[in-house]
Structures are given as structure tokens and as C-alpha cells.
Structure 1
Amino acid sequence: MPLNDMQIRRAKPEAKAYTLGDGQGLSLLIEPNGSKSWRFRYRFAGKPKMISLGVYPTITLADARSRRDDARKLVAEGKNPSEVRKEQKIALQTESESAFEKIATEWHQMKSAKWSEGYASDIMEAFQNDIFPYVGTRPIGEIKPLELLNVLRKIERRGALEKMRKVR
């Protein structure tokens, strides 16, 4: 029988963890410490699998059902929801590691040993004030040369020609 919000709110912790089933593989795990988390059980490649869908009340019953349905679609397409989630997590991590600001900062640290202190601080100041606000959070592979040219033109229009030459 499907769960309702009242049943979930009334579920009290016991000495051992227990689950309340909602149907189609979705269940709510109630831990002895009182935490409640959504689980989805499924079979993939003939083996039973389980994936966590989040914590109640952050993830509501409707959200958990929606996530379960999304995971069921992946299984129907022959994809393991757990593996898909791992791939997405790796892609996000790789994207944040390849952010322009991170790479530019690493480059600056590597090069600044060869520069005077004043020159190194000028370059970093130019990055922070003129470049990072426009392209700092974007993955470096997505930034096109024309976008950087537009950033340089903004510096040029401001009349900071020496700064533009340094960051070029």
C-alpha cells in the first residue's frame, strides 16, 4: 500500500532500523537515531541493487517518487542508475577542476616565482578584477577566443592599455 505524508511523519525510530514500503521499489529507511532516508531497490543485470534517493523531509514523498520513476526509466533503458549518478558526479567534479579561475590561479602560482612581486600582484589583480568576473567559473574548454577578446576589449575601452597588454 502506498505511503502518505502522515504515515511518514508518524514513523518513530525503534531499537533497530526498519523500512516503510511505498511500492515499485521505493522505501523509507527509519534509523534508530531518527533519520529517515529514501531508498530505491531494483534489479540490474540479474542482481539486486539499491540506491539512496535522499533524506526526508528534504526530499518529499512526491520528490522521492519522481526520482524513483527517473531511476526506473534508466533501468528500462539498460542503464544502471548508480553508475549514471557516479558518472554525473565525476563530470561535475571534472568541470569544477577545469574552471578557468582554478587553472589561471595554478598557472599564476607556477609563474610568479620567476616574476617580481609587483608584477605578480598586477597580473593577479587583473585576473580578479577584469577576467574572473566574466569567465572565471566556466570550464576552460567552453571558453571561446572571441569571448576572451571581448574581455580584453572591455579593458581597452576603460583605457587600461598596459593592464590589457599584461593579461593578453
Structure 2
Amino acid sequence: MVFESVRPGRPLSENTINVALKSMGFDGTTMVGHGFRATASTLLHEQGWPPEVIELQLAHKQRNQVAAAYNRSARLDERRQMMQHWSNYLENVRTYTDAIQQQSSEFGI
């Protein structure tokens, strides 16, 4: 769970996230809540994380039902490492963006 609702232990609904995005000026063709999952999946694949670990973290079910029935691996250590990496990546993006904005305001851009 990334965003907790006002009801403890329950996530925000996708609709709540979409309404929040809309209030920030994003229309449904530019960004929707599910788009964050797609973005994370794409970037984690590009960064070389194993597809199986990414899919497990995103709680995607395997298409091959026989493999899904026999594969009980949660790969928690790898998922924990990947999520720490993801957190560090997002923090670096935020820090870089903040620095760019600060420089822009200093130069009146």
C-alpha cells in the first residue's frame, strides 16, 4: 500500500487518486493512477531488475497457470532491495528537480 485512506489499513481507491490527479490539471489521457504502476514497471525493467521480481511486487498474476500453481517464491529479499533502490531513485529525481527549480528561480527563469 502506498497511499493510505482515512480508513486505517485501507489504500486509497484508484478513483480517489484519479480525482486528485484531475484536480492537479491532469486529464485522463495524460495520467491516471494506474500509470504510476506502468511507469515503475518500465523504469525498473530498464534498470535491469528481474521481470519476475517486478511482477511479484506489482502483484501481477502469472499468465501461465501451471507455473503459478508451483511457484510459491515470494523473493522478498530481492523485492526489498528493489523497492529501496526505487525509493533512492525517486529521491534522486526529487533532489535533482528541486535543484533545477532553485537554479531557475535564482536566474529569473
**Normalising by the residue count of structure 2, what TM-score does the alignment of the two structures yield?**
0.30
- Report the structure, 1 or 2, having the larger strand content: 1
- Report the structure, 1 or 2, having the larger helix content: 2
**Normalising by the residue count of structure 1, what TM-score does the alignment of the two structures yield?**
0.22
Please say which structure displays the higher CA radius of gyration: 1
